[in-house]
């Protein structure tokens, strides 16, 4: 039963990202600068950290290169390429902190 719950959570995360994609694309072709850009990256990081937890059973660890590569690709796909690379470690840390505060 746990396997199917994990599959369902992954599909829910994928659906949420698919819904977010046109919204982000309609607002900007490039990642906004400053606080707005950081919030976009944090939103993607939280969705991807949730999916990571479902798939691996753990939240992404600090300095997790594999997760950061995946996150960078997700951010580029959803909100476009940034002129300056976003702080993926900070976005991951914030996402993990917020996910830990939610009781599962």
How would you label 72-102 residue by residue, b for 16+ Cβ within 10 Å and e otherwise?
bebbeebbeebeeebebeebbebbbeebeee
pLDDT for res 67: 93
The number of domains in the chain is 1
**Tokens of residue 29, six digits:** 């072709």
Q: Where in the sequence is the domain holding 88, given as residue range(s)?
A: 2-101
Global pTM value: 0.64
Give pLDDT tens digits along the chain (104 positions): 588 888 888 888 888 888 887 777 666 555 555 665 678 889 999 999 999 998 899 999 988 889 999 999 888 888 777 667 788 999 999 999 999 988 55
Spatial contact of 86 and 31, defined as CB atoms under 8 Å apart: yes
pLDDT for res 20: 81
pLDDT for res 34: 60
């Amino acid at each position: 039963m746990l396997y199917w719950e994990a599959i369902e959570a992954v599909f829910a995360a994928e659906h949420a990202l698919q819904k977010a994609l046109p919204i982000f694309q309609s607002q900007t072709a490039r990642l906004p600068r400053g606080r707005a850009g950081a919030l976009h990256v944090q939103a993607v990081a939280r969705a991807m950290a949730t999916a990571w937890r479902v798939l691996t059973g753990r939240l992404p660890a600090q300095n997790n290169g594999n997760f950061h590569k995946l996150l960078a690709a997700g951010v580029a796909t959803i909100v476009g390429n940034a002129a300056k690379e976003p702080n993926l470690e900070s976005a991951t840390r914030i996402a993990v902190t917020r996910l830990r505060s939610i009781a599962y």
